[in-house]
Amino acid sequence: MTEPTPFAPPPAAQSDSGLLRSLGLFTTITIIVGGVIGSGIFKKPGVMAAQVGSPEVLLFVWVLAGVITIFGAMSIAEVAGIIPETGGQYVHFDRIYGPFVAYLFGWSLFAVVQTGSIAALAYVCAEAFDRVVPLPELGGTIGGLVLHLPVIGDIAPFKEAGIKAVALAVIGGLTAVNYLGVRFGGMVQNVSTIAKLAGMFALVVVAFLLSEVGRVANFTTASATIRPQGVAMIAAVAAALQGAFWAFDGWNKLTFIAGEVKEPQRTIPRGLVIGMFIVTAIYLSMTLAYIYVMPVDQMAVSKLVAADVAERCVPGGGIWISVAIVISTFGACNATILASARIYFSMARQNVFPRFLGAAHPRFHTPAASLVVQAVWSSVLLFSGTFDTLTDTLIFVSWIFYAAAAYGVLLLRRRLPDAPRPFRVPGYPVVPWIFVLFAAGYLVMTIYNDIASYQKAVAAGQPGFINSAFGAVLVLAGAPVYFYYRARQRKLAAPLER
């Protein structure tokens, strides 16, 4: 009888974490597709068009983001097949780089990446709802309150108070759903994903087959006023990639819930790769439909391109697509809430987070305490800034760890050459190296753009904000917490060693 691999999952329906293995391939794909497709494809194309000023470059940005993301997903899929445990990349980093890097990753998810995603998705859900049912605003001193944070910039916590109040309700409601059970959360995910895909398919069909305003010439007509050249174009592409990567972000969520997936060594890699190919195809179809209906200059001034395109195609279409965006972001927010709490759950079980966060609910078999704490901090971030502030900050932090995760594939091939690999990265080692080098260049350009934007805002006498600095401060703030827990562990272990 052969010895089991140390990375093999427990064979029982209940994993060794106390969570239930109840998610199959279809649900894992819907978690990927539903968790990735949220607000980005509806809201970001206008901002991206204003940055690059060319429909061809805009399409290139989406293709580039899709290819690079698939490279990253394939790289992480190989690691997930070797280490299919609840906690996903937190556990991966622990095995590859050691406990401190793993902790910083988990802390960053809690501090900004996943909680910021929850806040941003709930914000756009409420913003789309506002187009259907107008929400009230706060005026006076409270509504216009601006707080200055040294190094980082200015925030207006009570701006768009009505939208933020509805977003708060979304976070609370979806947290309650996932508190009651992963199967219930998975059902919500399946329904919302199917509904959003139906709405997106309908928009593409209407744009290309029923629209009387679509023009093929839009695909080759550049902006009359936005014409970056040389280094400015490279910077513009890097800035536009922030929007595209936000739209693609969330592809690693599936690894967080490996302990609740049936046959995780096979299901997780398949779900990651199939899901990301589906997402890329959908984004390209949607962008082609947008450009066909709206010239790039008109896209550049649109706050919600999908709604404006639908309104041009069909009277009242703006309301219809706003409802679709509510459903889409609601589902994406649900997927993020469902998956992310499992990270803090795993960290608590390794004694680097408060211990109560690592307890599974005795009745619902969910990480209940982690879900509640996650909801509280997401709500705080919701009031810390605007949608673009949240997304640009979390994307910067995310890509630091995405690069480290892809490099981990190279390390594991050397350290564990004989470990079972249900999925192997095609084109190894070229694919992971391309991803790592691209991520490094992208991060450098992001810092450059952030500083330039801040200086431009200050020169114009407007509030400025350095998103990458905000993200770095939040991540590094976790270091003292780590050393506190490490010191406490050594103190508790000392009497036993005597």
Q: Where do runs of H (alpha helix) occur along 230-367?
A: 231-248, 264-293, 296-300, 305-313, 317-349
Residue 80 pLDDT class (50, 70, 90 cuts): confident
Tell me, what DSSP letter sits at residue 256?
G
Q: What is the pLDDT of residues 200-249, one digit of tens each?
A: 888 899 899 877 888 999 999 989 888 888 888 988 998 899 889 888 88
Mean pLDDT in residue range 409-425: 89
Taking alpha carbons only, the member of 55, 373, 92 closest to residue 252 is: 92
Q: What is the pTM of this model?
A: 0.76
d(CA 40, CA 318): 17
Residue 99 tokens, joined: 């406990």
Residue 418's Cβ-count burial label (10 Å; 0-12, 13-18, 19+) is exposed
- Given the candidates 1.20.1740.10, 1.10.760.10, 1.10.287.130, 3.30.390.10, the CATH classification of the domain at 25-449 is 1.20.1740.10
- Hey, where are the domains in the chain? 25-449
Residue 9 in this model has a pLDDT that exceeds 70: no
State the CB neighbour count (10 A cutoff) for residue 2. 4
d(CA 76, CA 404): 10
Q: What is the pLDDT of residues 94-125, one digit of tens each?
A: 889 998 998 898 888 888 888 988 998 898 88
Q: Give the pLDDT score at 5.
A: 35
d(CA 493, CA 498): 9
Which H or E run contains 404?
helix 387-415
Average pLDDT for the chain: 81
Residue 126 in this model has a pLDDT that exceeds 80: yes
Q: Give the pLDDT score at 11.
A: 41
Count of helix runs (H) and strand runs (E) in the chain: 19, 2
Tell me whether the omega of the peptide bond preceding residue 429 falls within 30 degrees of 0, making it cis. yes
Q: What is the pLDDT of residues 282-309, one digit of tens each?
A: 999 999 999 999 999 999 988 788 888 9
